[in-house]
Amino acid sequence: MAPEHSKVDVLIVGAGPAGLMAATWMAQCGINTRIIDKRGTKIFSGQADGLQCRTLEIFDSFGFADRVWKESNHMLEICLWNPDEDGRIRRSDRIPDTIPGISRFQQVVLHQGRIERFFLDFLKENSDIRVERGVLPETFKFDEFLAEDHEAYPIEVTLQHLSEEELNPDQSQMTKGAAKSDGLFRSNMAADDTDELLDRASKNGRAGTRETLKAKYMIGCDGAHSWTRRQLGYQLEGEQTDFIWWDIRIISGDSANLSKFRGVLDIIPITDFPDIRMRCAIHSANSGSVMVIPRENKLVRLYIQMTTTEKGGGKPLKVDRSNITPQMILECAQKTIAPYKLTYNYCDWWTAYQIGQRICPSFSANERIFLAGDAVHTHSPKAGQGMNVSMQDTYNLGWKIASVLKGTAHRSILKTYQSERHRIAQDLIDFDHKFSRLFSGRPAKDVMDEAGISMSEFKSAFEKGNLFASGVAVDYGASILVAKEGNPQDGANGTNIGISASSVHGKPEVAKNIKMGMRFPSFQVLNQADARPWQFQERLKSDGRWRLILFAGNISNPPQMTRITNLCANLSPIIKRYTPAAQPIDSRIEILTLHSAPRASTELFSFPELLRPLSDEGWDYWKIFVDDESYHEGHGRAYEGYGADAERGCLVVVRPDGYVGWEGEIEDIEDIGRYFEGFMVVQR
C-alpha cells in the first residue's frame, strides 16, 4: 500500500500532560494540529504528582481548575518528624504547605489520569483535536534551510498506525493487573519502546497503515526516552545511575557501607501514626526516612528511603530485582515509623525508583522542532514538580507557536522558549538535588555531627522549597517579550533573544507587586456592571489574546478621567494596527480596566467606548472592574495588593500566558507602541 500523504501545522508527539497542554493551546487558538501517542491506553496506574498553585491557575485560565480542586486531596500542612534525644520520632514542626497569600489556590494531589481526562474533555468540547493513540513515528526528516520560510513545511515524519491489539501489551497487562502489580516511575525508568513496538508489529505482519506527514512545527513531548530528541541527536546531560533501587554510598566520616532502598507505596494505610493525612517528612534516627503524601480516595503515597548499615563491612548486599515485593518496602517504612504501627489491606501501586537529574542543553532545533517536559529534563519524583514543570513548558510554548502561525507575531518570539524554560529546568534540578540530599541523609545527632543532616537546615530548605514548589516564583528574564532591564544574557543560555540597548524598558515602580517576567497576580475585583466579585486572574483566560490592564485610578476625579480619555484616543490606533480590520477590536489585544472610584457613584457609560466596545450583542459589560467592597466576599483591596497608585493608576501589558511583559505610566503610550512593535505583525 502506498503511503498516505498529509500536512499539518503542528504535530505533537506524546499525549501526556505536556503534550496535552500544547494541544490545549492549539485548540484555544484554532490551530490545525495533530497529537499522536504510541500507547493504546491513556492512563498509567499510580502516576500522581502534586499540582502547584501556578498549575491550578493555568488550569483555571482554561476553565477546568474547579474539577481538579473538587477531586483532589488538598495539602494544607507539612509536619516534620524527627528523632528526639531518646531516638524516638516526634513531631518537631508544623509549617503551611502553601505559603499563605501567594496564590488563590493551594497545592493539591491528584492522579495523573484524571488530569489527562480534564485535558481530553477540554479538547473534545472546544476543538476537533483528538489524541491518535497507537500511532508511532518511524522516520524523520527536517529541512533546516526552510526553517525561516513562514509558509514551508520543513518537517517530514512517517507514522505507523498500529491496530488496537498490537498496542503495548506489556503496559496493558500491567494496568489490568491493577492493585498490587509492579510499576516503573514514568520519567526515569521506562526505556523507550518505540522501536520494539514497531519491530513486533512488523514481525507478526500486522504493521498497520503508514502515513507520511509534513508539518510546519513539531513538539516532542515523548518523555525521558524521547524519540523526537533521538532524531535530533540531542543528549540529556547529568547524573544517571544504572542501579535501580539500591546503591552504596560512603558518607564521609562514616566508615560503614550503607544500603539505600528507594521505594514508593500507594496504599490505604491502617496506622496509628497521627499525621497520616498530612504531608510529612519523617526522619528516623537510624532507619531511613519516609515522606507521606496524602492523596485522594483515602490513598496515601509513601516515599520510602531505607538506610541500613550492612554488617560485614564493605560488601554490598545485592538484591535480585524480581525478588522485590511491596512487603519489603512496607517493612522499611514500618522501621522508620516505629513505634507507630503501619499496615494496609489495599495497595494501589508500588515501585522502586532512582534519582537521576539530567537536562538537555538545547530545547529546540531552528525553532521548528521543540522538546518539552521529561524529554528535556528528568529528576526524582519526590519534589512533586515533574508534571508541573513539564506542563508549564508547553504552556510557555504553545501560544507562541500559535501566534506565529496565525500571523500575529514574528518568529523571533520562539527563541524565548529556550531562554525562558531552560533556566527553569536547571532550577528544578538544582532544587531536586539539594532536596534529595537532605531527605536521604541521616539526621544529625547534634551540632557536632557533621555527617548527619541538620534538621533545622532541612526545615529551612522545606520552607524555601515551598515557594519554589508553588510555581509562582518563576521569573522570566529580559527579552523582546519581557521589557525589563538586566543583562539579556542572564538565563538566556546563549540564545539570542533579540533585545538590545535600544529596547524599551517598563517602569517597575508603577506597581510594586506587579513584576515584569512574573505572572500577573490575582486580587478580588468587582464587575462595575453587575457588582459580581471575581478574582482578577479569572478574567485573563488563556485564549491567545494579549491584555492591557488599565489601572484607571480614581476616575471620579475629572483630571484623571481626562488622562484616561486621552489614553484611549492614543491607544486606539495602536490596537487597530495589530488587529485585522474584519475582527472585533478586542480580538488580539483586550483592554481590562480596574478603577478605584466608588462603584455606586460610577456609571459604566461614563467610560470611553474603547473600554466597553459595542458589538452586535450590545455593549461589553465584562471589561470594567472596580476595587470596592463586595456584598458577600469582603473588599479585595486590589490596588493595595498590586501596589498601584489608587489615584493615578498605571498600565500593564500581560502576555497570553499571564506573564507581565511591560508596565508603565498612563502617558507611556509611545513605549507601549515600541514594545508591541518589537514582535507583533502589523495587520493594517
Phi and psi, residue 620, nearest 5°: -85, 115
Verify whether residue 37 is a known catalytic residue. Answer: no
Phi and psi, residue 464, nearest 5°: -65, -40
Verify whether residue 49 is a known catalytic residue. Answer: yes
CA dist 150 to 154, 169, 193, Å?
10, 41, 34
| Closest among 630, 609, 629 to 618, alpha carbons compared | 609
CB of 585 to a copy of itself, least distance (A): 17
* DSSP code per residue over 527-590: ETTT--EEEGGGGS--SS-EEEEEEEE-TTSHHHHHHHHHHHHHHHHHHHHTS-TTS-TTSSEE
* CB distance 452 to 445 below 8 Å: yes
Verify whether residue 344 is a known catalytic residue. Answer: no
The catalytic position among 49, 222, 393, 628 is 49
Among left, alpha and beta (phi > 0; psi -120 to 50; other), residue 257 is beta
List of residues contacting a copy of itself (CB under 8 A): 66, 70, 73-77, 94, 96-98, 100-101, 106, 268-272, 274, 276-278, 294, 298, 345-346, 527, 529-533, 600, 603-605, 616-619, 621, 630-632
Say what the alpha-carbon torsion angle 369, 9, 539, 419 is, to the nearest 10 degrees.
20
Find all residues with CB under 8 Å of 173, minimum gap 6, and list them: none
Q: How far is CA 265 from the centre of its chain?
A: 25
CA dist 54 to 58, 105, 388, 473, 511, Å?
6, 8, 8, 9, 21
Nearer to a copy of itself among residue 100 and residue 205 (C-beta): 100
Nearer to a copy of itself among residue 260 and residue 277 (C-beta): 277
The catalytic position among 229, 262, 279, 295 is 295
CB of 93 to a copy of itself, least distance (A): 11
CB of 270 to a copy of itself, least distance (A): 4
| Closest among 587, 629, 580, 624 to 603, alpha carbons compared | 624
CB of 269 to a copy of itself, least distance (A): 6
CB of 470 to a copy of itself, least distance (A): 12
SS3 224: coil
Phi and psi, residue 394, nearest 5°: -75, -20
* CB distance 167 to 387 below 8 Å: no
Distance between CA atoms of residues 165 and 188, nearest Å: 27
CB of 630 to a copy of itself, least distance (A): 8
SS3 136: strand
Verify whether residue 303 is a known catalytic residue. Answer: yes
CB of 94 to a copy of itself, least distance (A): 6
| Closest among 288, 330, 281, 338 to 309, alpha carbons compared | 288
CB of 276 to a copy of itself, least distance (A): 8
* CB distance 44 to 17 below 8 Å: no
Nearer to a copy of itself among residue 97 and residue 663 (C-beta): 97
The catalytic position among 83, 154, 381, 521 is 381
Nearer to a copy of itself among residue 98 and residue 231 (C-beta): 98
Bridge partners, residue 547, by sequence: 590, 654
Catalytic residues: 49, 295, 303, 381
